[in-house]
Amino acid sequence: DNTAAVRSWLGSDAFPATEFMLRDHYFNSGSRNTGKILQRALNIHGAGLVVDGIVGPRTRQELQDQLAATGEAVFLIALQEKRQAFYRSCKQFPVFGKGWLTRCDDAFSVAQELV
């Protein structure tokens, strides 16, 4: 229930792998940080979103548009890249980074099986 907001970002259950990746990050890092990695991933393909962590109508529409245009497998790569970059930017990375990146890689592997 704590991660249910992610479903509303997607608008449907058509993209289970993306939902899984976003929920996993949301559980560990909260809404705002998950919104930021989502916006950064969308900006890789030219969305031009302000990275503020607020997943409003424009971010939601861009997510739906990009998933429809590029497919979930392509978007997952961008999401994985931005999630790893987020962890590397954290001041606690020297202490917890190896575990965070392992979790990130494990979640990516599971998500790829859902595509």
Does the pLDDT at position 1 exceed 80?
Answer: no
> What pLDDT is attached to residue 12?
87
Structurally, the chain folds into a number of domains equal to 1
Torsion, Cα 81 65 59 100, to 10 degrees, reads -20
HEC assignment per residue over 1-48 = CCCCHHHHHHCCCCCHHHHHHHHHHHHHHHHHHHHHHHHHHHHHCCCC
> What pLDDT is attached to residue 33?
96
The per-residue pLDDT for range 57-106, each reduced to its tens digit, is 999 999 999 999 999 999 999 999 999 999 999 999 999 999 999 999 99
> What pLDDT is attached to residue 113?
96
Q: Mean of the pLDDT values across residues 6-35?
A: 93
The per-residue pLDDT for range 100-114, each reduced to its tens digit, is 999 999 999 999 999
Domain that includes residue 49, residue range? 5-114
How far from each other are the two terminal CA atoms of the chain, in whole angstroms? 23
Does the pLDDT at position 15 exceed 80?
Answer: yes
| Residue 26 CA: distances (Å) to CA of 7, 16, 70 | 12, 15, 23
